Amino acid sequence: MKDLMSSELSELMTTAEVASLLRVDRSTLSRWRSSGSGARVTWLSSSCPRYQRNDVIEWLRQAAI
């Protein structure tokens, strides 16, 4: 169980990591979150958004269509 949880958590990305990957400013991700147009986000707390790597990749695929 511990190994499963560690592998799941390792797939969570911070706003800074996603912004760097997409080469956009962190404020752009914030704007996308607010408008609902970005990748799916998971809130760990009211001020701690995280992104599943797979969700970001899938969002990119959909955006490229």
Mean pLDDT throughout 17-33? 96
Give me the pLDDT at residue 55, please. 94
| Closest C-alpha among 46, 52, 3, 7 to residue 38 | 52
Summarize pLDDT for 30-52 with one digit per residue, the tens: 999 999 999 999 999 999 999 99
Three-state DSSP at 43 gives strand
Number of domains composing the chain: 1
Q: Are 34 and 27 in contact (CB under 8 A)?
A: no
Domain containing 7 equals 2-63
CATH code of 32's domain: 1.10.1660
